[in-house]
Amino acid sequence: MNKFFALLVILIGLFSNIYGTKVIAISYFDNTTANSKYNSLSKGIADMLITDLSKVRDIDIVEREKLEQLIKEIKLGQSKYFDQSTAQKLGKGLGAASILTGAFYVLENTIRIDARLINVETGKVMAADEVTGKTSDFFGLHKQLVDLLIQSLKIKYNPKTESLVDYDNKIELKAVVNYSDAISYEDNGLEENASKVLENTLQEYPEFLFAQTKLDKIRAFIAEKEKEREQLLLKELNEFLSNIDPNSETLTKDVMAIWTNMTTSYDYSSLLAFNKHLRKNNIPLDTPAYEGSNITLGEYMGFYDCLALFTLKRHGELIEPAKDFLSKYPTSMYFNGVKMNLNSALKEIEKIEEGKKNIKPLIAHREMVEHLMFLNKLGYYGNKRFIQKKMYEKFKKIYVQKIIKADRNTFEYFDPYDRFDDVTEFFEIAEENLDRDLMVKIKDLAIEICADTDYEDDAYDLEEDIERFDTQKEQHEEKKNKAIEDLNSGEIERVAKTVKWFWLMRDKKEEQLIIEWSLKYLDLKDNRDDWKVYDTRMRAYENIVEAYNRLGDFDQMKTIIERFKNDEYILKHKDREYDSQNREFKEYLRKGPKEYAKFQKDILNHDIRSNVLIGKADVYRDNYQYIDEITCRKEAIEKYDLDSQTNEYQYYFLFNAYGNAGLFEKRAECAKEFIKLYPKSSYVESMKAVLTFSPK
pLDDT, tens only, 161-215: 556 666 556 778 888 889 888 888 888 888 888 888 888 888 888 878 888 888 8
**Residue spans per domain, the chain:** 2-170, 191-243, 246-333, 361-474, 489-604, 608-692
Give pLDDT tens digits for 53-99.
777 666 677 888 888 888 777 766 555 777 777 888 888 888 888 88
pLDDT in the model for residue 509? 80
At residue 67's C-alpha, the angle toward residues 63 and 70, to 5°, is 140
Q: Which of 152-156, 198-202, 225-229, 372-376 has the lowest mean pLDDT?
A: 152-156
Identify which of 39, 47, 115, 41 has the alpha carbon closest to the alpha carbon of residue 84. 115
Average pLDDT, the chain: 85
CB 552 within 8 A of CB 544: no
DSSP classification of residue 291: T
Report the C-alpha gap between 98 and 22 in whole angstroms: 8
Give yes or no for residue 538 having a pLDDT over 90: yes
pLDDT in the model for residue 316? 94
State residue 107 phi and psi, 5-degree precision. Answer: -135, 110
Q: Which superfamily does CATH assign the domain made up of 2-170 to?
A: ABC-type transport auxiliary lipoprotein component (3.40.50.10610)
| 532 or 290, which is more confident | 532
pLDDT in the model for residue 462? 95
Give yes or no for residue 627 having a pLDDT over 90: yes
The pLDDT of 441-451, averaged and rounded, is 95
Identical fold for domains 2-170 and 608-692, yes or no, is no
Give pLDDT tens digits for 580-618.
999 999 999 999 999 999 999 999 999 999 999 999 999
For domain 608-692, the CATH class is: mainly alpha
Please state at what angle helix 315-328 crosses helix 297-311, rounded to 10 degrees: 160
Pairing label, strands 59-61, 22-31:
parallel
Give yes or no for residue 335 having a pLDDT over 80: yes
DSSP classification of residue 169: S
Report the C-alpha gap between 44 and 26 in whole angstroms: 11
Report the C-alpha gap between 434 and 393 in whole angstroms: 12
Q: Which of 63-77, 137-151, 476-490 has the lowest mean pLDDT?
A: 137-151
DSSP classification of residue 164: S
CB 325 within 8 A of CB 303: yes
Q: Which of 105-109, 306-310, 666-670 has the lowest mean pLDDT?
A: 105-109
Looking at the chain, the whole-number percentage of residues with pLDDT higher than 90 is 46
Q: Which segments within 63-109 are labelled E, that is strand? A: 98-107
| 672 or 220, which is more confident | 672
Neighbours of 315 (CB within 10 A): 20
CB 104 within 8 A of CB 111: yes
Give pLDDT tens digits for 540-549.
999 999 999 9
